């Protein structure tokens, strides 16, 4: 599997260089590809270099797949993608493989998650638009009002969460908003538009630093949450957020502190552990949960009373 990933990474690097009018030489390629080379089994202290022999083998393997990498007179390398759609399929597979271990590429001893990832059919178009700085026109279905809307967006990033792919893009109609997230599963059609000059000042790191999931619309604050030992041990092994730390531990309960945005995504994550969750702070979040739980009790009691009539 490492070999497949390395080949796709090589192809992607050379293609991206070519699209910028650059033809990388072997030394540049070797430097770029070094993270994709495994250490030698006979000497784990010395990293296995990406040498010319390995480069030749990767080129031959790609040529067998219909992707020929050629060398020019200046010893630079290029990939001629004219008339070939295979490159986009390969690169989409590369993104999927590294992000979610696509079932068809897993070894027989690995059992994949049965829940499907959604929106992957639009990945190729989004990747190409991001890498070439082209606008996209999206026909997009809004779950809130159940209406289809048209957006013209400038795409910048892809984000993966809970089996879903999201496009982070600037909505041309609302440039005052730094960026919006568009779930790829809701896209009904997608068309490439005009070239745009990317805004290199856009920050996609800071908004998500104190967030869980996709939403970033709340201010980060201190949360103190208590769980029973079973849930507490799960959360110690797999923290909700980088800021999470244990503040106390008794024979029956474990208390955590987090500095995070209390968004809908976080609320849904905490709801999964309602059977043991106690919200110590903040009070407004505890009241919000009490309201959700209260409404849920009313709904379910109503169903029970109807069935017993």
Three-state DSSP string of 110-152: CCCCCCCCECHHHHHHHHHHHHHCEEEEEEEEECCCCEEEEEE
Q: Decide: 92 and 123 in contact? Cβ < 8 Å.
A: yes
Is residue 174 a part of any domain in this protein? yes
Asked if the structure places residue 22 within a domain, the reply is: yes
CATH of the domain at 187: 2.30.30
Domain assignment present for residue 265? The answer is yes
Query: Per-residue confidence at 84, pLDDT binned at 50, 70, 90?
Result: low
Could you tell me if 196 and 239 lie in one domain?
no
Give yes or no: residues 12 and 94 share one domain.
yes
In a domain, 150, yes or no: yes
> Based on the domain organization, do 45 and 126 belong to the same domain?
no
Averaged pLDDT, 144-154: 93
Look at residues 166, 201, 236 and tell me which one is the last residue of a structural domain. Answer: 201
Distance between CA atoms of residues 51 and 17, nearest Å: 20
Q: Chain-wide mean pLDDT for the chain?
A: 84
Q: Which band of pLDDT confidence, cut at 50, 70 and 90, is reported for residue 45? A: very low
Q: What is the pLDDT of residue 44?
A: 47
- The SS3 assignment for 207 reads helix
Q: Is the pLDDT of residue 212 over 80?
A: yes
In a domain, 279, yes or no: yes
Q: Is residue 159 in some structural domain? A: yes
Single out the residue of 120, 229, 116, 217 nearest to residue 165, CA to CA: 120
For the segment 46-70, the average pLDDT, to the nearest whole number, is 83
With residue 289 as reference, give the H or E element that holds it: helix 283-308
pTM of the model: 0.65
Angle formed at CA 198 by CA 197 and CA 199, multiple of 5 degrees: 120
Predicted pLDDT at 122:
85
pLDDT of residue 57: 92
Output the pLDDT for position 42.
Answer: 41
Q: What is the pLDDT of residue 62?
A: 85
Does residue 203 sit in helix, strand or coil? coil
- Percentage of the chain modeled with pLDDT above 90: 51
pLDDT, tens digit, 9 for 90 and up, residues 170-188: 999 999 999 999 999 999 9
Question: Looking at residue 39, what is its pLDDT?
Answer: 47
HEC string for 295-309: HHHHHHHHHHHHHHC
Q: What's the pLDDT at 305? A: 60
Q: Are residues 4 and 85 in the same domain?
A: yes
Report percent pLDDT > 70 for the chain: 82
Is residue 193 located within the same domain as residue 227?
A: no
- Structural domain tally of the chain? 3
Q: Is the domain of 196 the same as that of 286?
A: no
In this structure, is residue 25 part of a structural domain? yes
pLDDT at 13 (0 to 100): 85
pLDDT tops 80 at residue 81: no
Residue 94 lies in a domain: yes
**Is residue 232's pLDDT more than 90?**
yes
Reference 58, options 128, 109, 2, 98; nearest CA is: 2
Same domain, 193 and 277: no
pLDDT, tens only, 17-39: 887 889 999 999 998 888 777 64
Q: Which residues contact 97 (CB under 8 A, 6 or more apart)?
A: 1, 4, 5, 8, 105
**E strand or H helix at 38:** none
Phi, psi angles (nearest 5°) of residue 259: -115, 105
Domain boundary (45, 66, 98) is at: 98
* Residue 40: per-residue pLDDT: 40
Answer yes or no: are the C-beta atoms of 58 and 6 closer than 8 Å.
Answer: yes
Structural domain range at position 250: 221-301
């Amino acid at each position: 599997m490492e070999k497949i990933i390395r080949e796709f990474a090589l192809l992607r690097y050379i293609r991206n260089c070519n699209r910028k009018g650059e033809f990388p030489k072997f030394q540049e390629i070797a430097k770029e590809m070094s993270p994709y080379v495994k250490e030698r089994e006979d000497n784990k202290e010395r990293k296995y270099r990406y040498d010319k022999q390995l480069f030749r083998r990767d080129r031959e393997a790609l040529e067998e797949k219909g992707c020929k990498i050629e060398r020019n007179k200046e010893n630079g390398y290029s990939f001629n993608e004219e008339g070939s759609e295979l490159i986009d399929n390969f690169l989409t597979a590369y993104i999927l493989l590294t992000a979610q271990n696509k079932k068809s590429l897993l070894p027989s001893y690995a059992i994949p998650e049965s829940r499907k990832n959604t929106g992957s059919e639009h990945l190729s178009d989004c990747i190409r638009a991001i890498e070439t700085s082209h606008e996209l026109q999206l026909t997009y279905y809004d779950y809130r009002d159940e209406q289809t809307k048209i957006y013209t967006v400038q795409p910048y990033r892809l984000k993966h969460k809970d089996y879903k792919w999201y496009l982070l893009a600037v909505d041309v109609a609302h440039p005052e908003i730094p960026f919006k997230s568009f779930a790829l599963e809701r896209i009904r059609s997608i068309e490439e538009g005009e070239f745009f000059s990317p805004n290199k000042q856009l920050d996609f790191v800071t908004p998500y630093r104190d967030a869980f999931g996709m939403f970033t619309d709340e201010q980060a604050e201190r949360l103190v949450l208590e769980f029973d030992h079973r849930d507490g041990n799960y959360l110690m092994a797999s923290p909700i957020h980088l800021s999470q730390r244990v503040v106390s531990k008794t024979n029956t309960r474990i208390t955590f502190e987090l500095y995070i945005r209390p968004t809908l995504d976080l609320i849904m994550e905490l709801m999964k552990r309602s059977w043991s969750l106690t919200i110590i702070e903040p009070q407004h979040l505890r009241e919000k949960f009490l309201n959700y739980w209260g409404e849920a009790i009313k709904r379910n009691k109503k169903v029970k009373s109807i069935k017993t009539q």
